[in-house]
Chain A
């Protein structure tokens, strides 16, 4: 039987990789039954979402092109 503490540890230390099916099943059951753990898991998921949706905005295309050209000029001096 997993406690909320166990669930919180696993949720907070998880990566995207695949894992152990049994504990995954027990986790899912716990999350189904426990509102607090669901909230916690959702909050942590929101952290990743916020990061991906761009707290650090993508560089604009022009800026990337300039950087790319600079790297190629420096990295392949005999070509350019």
Chain B
């Protein structure tokens, strides 16, 4: 299992296009106006970002009402602390960071990710001793599957630990770089890789257990 625990992030598969893997900085001009607490700029940022923040909160599994509360508290904190914004990360990265802490403090159900986990064993059991697929993933029926995956993914997400859910959603839903996600979650790239590995395999197993992976059929 050490291999999994040590799993490093090797972001060599581009799931949807290449994004430079680095901490992006905010535009200096915008940073200056944020620090000066320019109300027009801050209000514009509220307008620009609340849609995505709300979407991330909902994907993290919050009810509509709770998500609105968290987004509101996040933006109010951002407005109150605007003078501290240093521009070394993008505004959205800063917002996600605030929001993650708000979500945790408003709910108070921190959970831990232990060094090893049942999902690691489940994944490992699929491979033969020489590392080939023993019990391979079954081929989904592409079209019917997309709909069913969408229908079930919310429930399967709810079964993940909070940190895995946060990592998975941030990695998939917005165009954050690896370093930005790490900053938001306050983890190392290695930790992030493990969180994503467990989140994705947990979701995949959850869907497969519900028969959503579909038929065992023809070649890809």
List the interface of chain A (C-beta within 8 A of B).
Answer: 3-6, 8-21, 23-24, 27, 35-59, 64, 67-68, 70-72, 74-76, 79
Across-interface contacts of A46 in B (CB, < 8 A): 140, 145-146, 149
When C-beta atoms are compared, the residue in chain A nearest to B60 turns out to be A56
The distance from the CB of A18 to the nearest CB of chain B, in whole angstroms, is 4
Contact B153 A51 (CB under 8 A): yes
A15 CB contact (under 8 Å) in B127, B171, B201, B219: B171
B173 CB contact (under 8 Å) in A15, A23, A51: A51
The verdict on B137 contacting chain A, using a C-beta distance below 8 Å, is yes
List the interface of chain B (C-beta within 8 A of A).
Answer: 3-4, 7-21, 39, 42-43, 46-47, 50-51, 54-55, 58-59, 64, 68, 71-72, 75-76, 79-80, 123-124, 127, 130-133, 136-140, 145-146, 149-151, 153-154, 157, 168-169, 171-173, 175-179, 181, 192-194, 196-197, 200-201, 203-204, 207, 213, 219-220
Contact A16 B15 (CB under 8 A): yes
- Nearest 9 pairs of A and B residues by beta carbon: A3-B131, A17-B21, A56-B58, A24-B12, A13-B193, A17-B178, A5-B131, A48-B172, A36-B136
Across-interface contacts of A10 in B (CB, < 8 A): 10, 12-13
Q: What is the interface of chain A mostly: helix, strand, loop, or mixed?
A: helix
B21 CB contact (under 8 Å) in A19, A36, A37, A71: A19
B178 CB contact (under 8 Å) in A3, A11, A15, A51: A15
Contact A18 B51 (CB under 8 A): no
Looking at A13, A18, A42, A45, the one whose CB has the most chain B CB atoms below 10 A away is A13
Contact B17 A16 (CB under 8 A): yes
Contact B196 A12 (CB under 8 A): yes
CA distance A57 to B91 in the complex (A): 24
